[in-house]
Amino acid sequence: LESSLLTQPWASVCFGESAFLAKACFRDTGYILLISDLSSVWYESADTETVGQRSKELNKRLTVHVSSFLHRLCNLMCPLLAGQPDATTSFTCHHAADGLRLHVKSELSGLPFYWDFHCCPAPVEMVSRHLVRPLIQMSLALQYQVQKLTSLLLQKDAEIEDYRESGAALSRDRLRTEPFQEETFQQNFMDEVRSGAS
């Protein structure tokens, strides 16, 4: 399950009034859920035995197979993670001493359906694997991309200057651009980032 979770993208979601990043993976054998508020990371990994036991405690009137519960949970969580939450389903979260509780209220077969995700703090290795390493890899990839684009812009400026020196002129003056100044661009970019963060 966790290896499958690695291929799932993070999604921005709201549980009640709180904003989180979340990702999940559901299978017939259970599920795994990862949630972060960018200060802490919590997770729950539940097998069919855990799901069966908890479903009996929370939904005494429902007598359906565990696979049906897992299918229903998948149908509730996946649209939410895709930015298409079900209007008839509510999600609320509660911070507890031992982690985070995510309470789900919906319907199944015309009867009320309840579920609680019992999320505990994620171990350091899991946080590194799912959050820190991908972020660093993306940051490095973006830095490389910026370097390549900067190099390309400087080459283009040199090419344009060569045309000018050869006597070429623009047919439309509005297309004229100033030579690219890397230091000025970097400074302006950092100023925008700081002002956005504040």
**What residues of the chain score a pLDDT lower than 70?**
197-198
Crossing angle (nearest 10°) for helices 66-81 and 48-58: 90
pLDDT in the model for residue 189: 84
Can you tell me the distance from the alpha carbon of 156 to that of 114, in angstroms, rounded to the nearest whole number? 61
pLDDT in the model for residue 180: 87
- State the DSSP code for 175: G
Can you tell me the distance from the alpha carbon of 92 to that of 100, in angstroms, rounded to the nearest whole number? 10
With a CB cutoff of 8 Å and minimum separation 6, the contacts of 71 are 26
Pick the CATH number of 1-122 from 2.40.128.20, 3.40.50.2300, 2.170.210.10, 3.40.50.720: 2.170.210.10
pLDDT in the model for residue 198: 62
pLDDT in the model for residue 197: 64
Strand order across the beta sheet in which 30-36 lies: 11-15, 18-27, 30-36, 41-47, 111-121, 99-108, 90-96
Count of beta carbons in the 10 Å neighbourhood of residue 34: 24
Q: Using one digit for the tens of pLDDT, what is the confidence trace for 48-69?
A: 999 999 999 998 888 878 888 8
